Structure 1
């Protein structure tokens, strides 16, 4: 019988080969969390001058990062930057310290962890980098802004969604994504919730999703990055219920997850 004391009908029982659903959900930001820098900066280095003109740099408006990136990509296309050079610039971005070790650990515990990316970057940069690093298949889902090359060879970026959160940029509220995903997965898993949820990030927009975490869950902010500073301020408030483990290297996260799994 299952935990509700309900015995499945013999014909309905899952084949014995079906693994039980993963106990833990790990959500990752991408820029400066999985990779060691901001992917947009790497792309900008493909420009003939390796930098943006001042008028474009100064056109950035707080909370309108997606819109600003769309302008940058259009400018790059006008400057003749090719798809190949963008791809190779993205593939060359180094991982954040120890992240590949963390992925190796998660690969060896695939039955325990379900992995998702939640990022304000874009599908092209993220898919390209993860494929190149050989870790794409570890992730069940990537939530990010859609981007693809149009007929003229320009990388066109769209906003991910619209939402009503006053704290987040127009195109993405990571807390909305996290809540909807957890709810949807619980249904798909036959009502079985994740035992714990982990959120790995670095930036100010990684704070909002941590508000949805409970006392069993853990936020992993990159040490001394904006997310860490903001969470330190918030720990005083009743809004933040999760555990917090700052990380400098992916090894710090591995150590924390080993403890949770009861490994030494």
Structure 2
């Protein structure tokens, strides 16, 4: 991924006649949702709206690795059959807590909103993400949210679909986050906005795929001890230097805010 400002610490300049000096650096900040922004897996959380707050064995046993989206379609159909309506889902999504330090990070981004373009790429669903972020008061921070389409049908059932199809062998059948991120960067480049650096904040195995495509200018923020972190460590052990981005693990998202704050001092 070619970017402007390839020299460390160099300001990004307007190209055009009559422009008077440098503009602030522009960074792309990419977030995962489940267990990154929120401190739970939202797909598991909504089971709290099911009768008895449990799923029957005949539903749970249909799960297949790599086809979680299809599994959740069956879970939601079951919950619809049990009479679970929009209000119950909304109540659960709105009650899920943010991860430690995430409000601090979001407030920092909001304070420096002219420097950061913020997007979210998640294998959850659009309805749940919108509910959670609006309840927390941070939905407006995101220029774009990429997630699986969801809506309520005529029966009042919450329905779910796959985001897209792809050819990546390392990602779930319904979503490759690397494909989404690569296409987004290409789209913004066509609009004459190339980012100085990309920052990726995530936790899961499906966050490792896009993070592994980052350049040496970029920073991956894996949640400490979660699959994305372990996979980055394993790659560094097996193929030193293959994971190009700087890796900054975090337990509190306030650590991410502190890192970004220190970086801005150098720009």
- Name the residue aligned to 2:265: 262
Structure 1 residue 183, shift from structure 2 partner: 1.1
Q: Which runs of 4+ in 1 moved over 6 A?
A: none
* Equivalent residue in structure 2 for 1:7, among 2, 7, 17: 17
Which secondary structure state, in structure 2, belongs to the residue aligned with residue 40 of structure 1?
Answer: helix
Matches within 5 A, 1:24-35: 24-35=27-38
Return the alpha-carbon distance in structure 2 between the equivalents of residues 202 and 244 of structure 1.
12
**Structure 1 counterpart of 2:208:** 207
The question of whether the paired residues in 1 share the 8 Å contact of 2:236 and 2:243 is answered with yes
Aligned length: 252
Equivalent residue for 1:167?
170
2:49 aligned counterpart, secondary structure? coil
1:59-90 deviation digits (Å, cap 9, x = unpaired): 10000010001000000000111110110011
2:160 corresponds in structure 1 to 157
Offset at residue 187 of structure 1 (A): 1.5
Decide whether the 8 Å contact of 1:200 with 1:219 is kept in 2: yes
Q: In structure 1, how many angstroms separate the alpha carbons of the residues matched to 2:180 and 2:120?
A: 11
**TM-score, normalised by the number of residues in structure 2:** 0.90
1:248 maps to which of 229, 246, 251 = 251
Displacement of 1:21 after TM fit? 7.6
Alignment CA distance shift 1:87-1:215 (3 Å): same
Structure 2 gaps, min length 5: 1-11
CA contact (8 A) 2:33 2:124 kept: yes
Aligned to 2:61: 58
Structure 1 unaligned runs (5+)? none
Query: Hey, what's the Cα distance between the residues in 2 that align with 1:194 and 1:5?
Result: 14
CA 72–239 in structure 1, closer or farther in 2 if over 3 Å, else same: same
Q: 2:94 aligns with which of 91, 96, 106?
A: 91
How far has the Cα of 1:6 moved from its partner? 4.6
Of 133, 141, 146 in structure 2, the residue corresponding to residue 143 of structure 1 is 146
